[in-house]
Amino acid sequence: MPEMSCPKLGIFGGTFNPPHMAHLLAAEGVRDHLKLDKILFVPASIPPHKTREGVIPARHRLEMVRLAIEGNPAFELSDIELRRKGTSYTIDTILELKQEHPDAKVHFILGIDLLIDFDKWKEPDRILAECDLVAMNRPGFDLAVVDKELLARIQLVNVPSVDISSTNIRRRVKSGRSIRYLVPASVEGYIVRNSIYL
């Protein structure tokens, strides 16, 4: 009998305030490049590197992610950080998801710009020991500013470069401008129906 390969699981965390097309393109790019079986989208409860200001209630972000990933069988929503409450630390999420998916090979997906302060994260060495770290390119980002030893321990993946940001989307909503094609139509409808970001 041939040995069964373990499923390859991606973890894609973020505030998702709101989730947009660049998130989806990036996640699909990583999934395709690494041949991942599944990517879990994990909205953060209280991201340690962001202030609470401007972050809408978790229930809205959770529902918008659910709407955004509908139709892609490889994408799945996890409310693990929202159930845990408190500050969201990557290592805690990784360990908990590894318990939920004991047979999976775990890949943690992040933007390469976040690696600049990776040494300040909670238990960075343990993160590297517990999963494969996958860094996505960012337009105009200089790799030289990332620690060379850290770069040697991660996988770099080039994903489609689309200049869309949640901050800009929130500003556009507030000023009454269109966000069509910046977010999925279902997310746009949810924002309008619930008067979010006004």
pTM of the model: 0.92
pLDDT for 46 beyond 80: no
Q: Does domain 8-164 have CATH number 1.10.357.10?
A: no
The predicted-structure confidence for 72-110, as pLDDT tens digits, reads as follows: 999 999 999 998 877 778 999 999 999 999 999 999 999
- CA distances, 17 to each of 1, 60, 105, 119, 172 (Å): 47, 9, 28, 25, 13
The region of weakest confidence among 49-53, 64-68, 140-144, 161-165 is 49-53
Which one has a higher pLDDT value, 75 or 141?
A: 75
Give the β-pairing of 132-136 and 105-111.
Answer: parallel
8 Å CB contact between 131 and 94: yes
d(CA 89, CA 119): 13
The predicted-structure confidence for 66-78, as pLDDT tens digits, reads as follows: 999 999 999 999 9
8 Å CB contact between 13 and 121: no
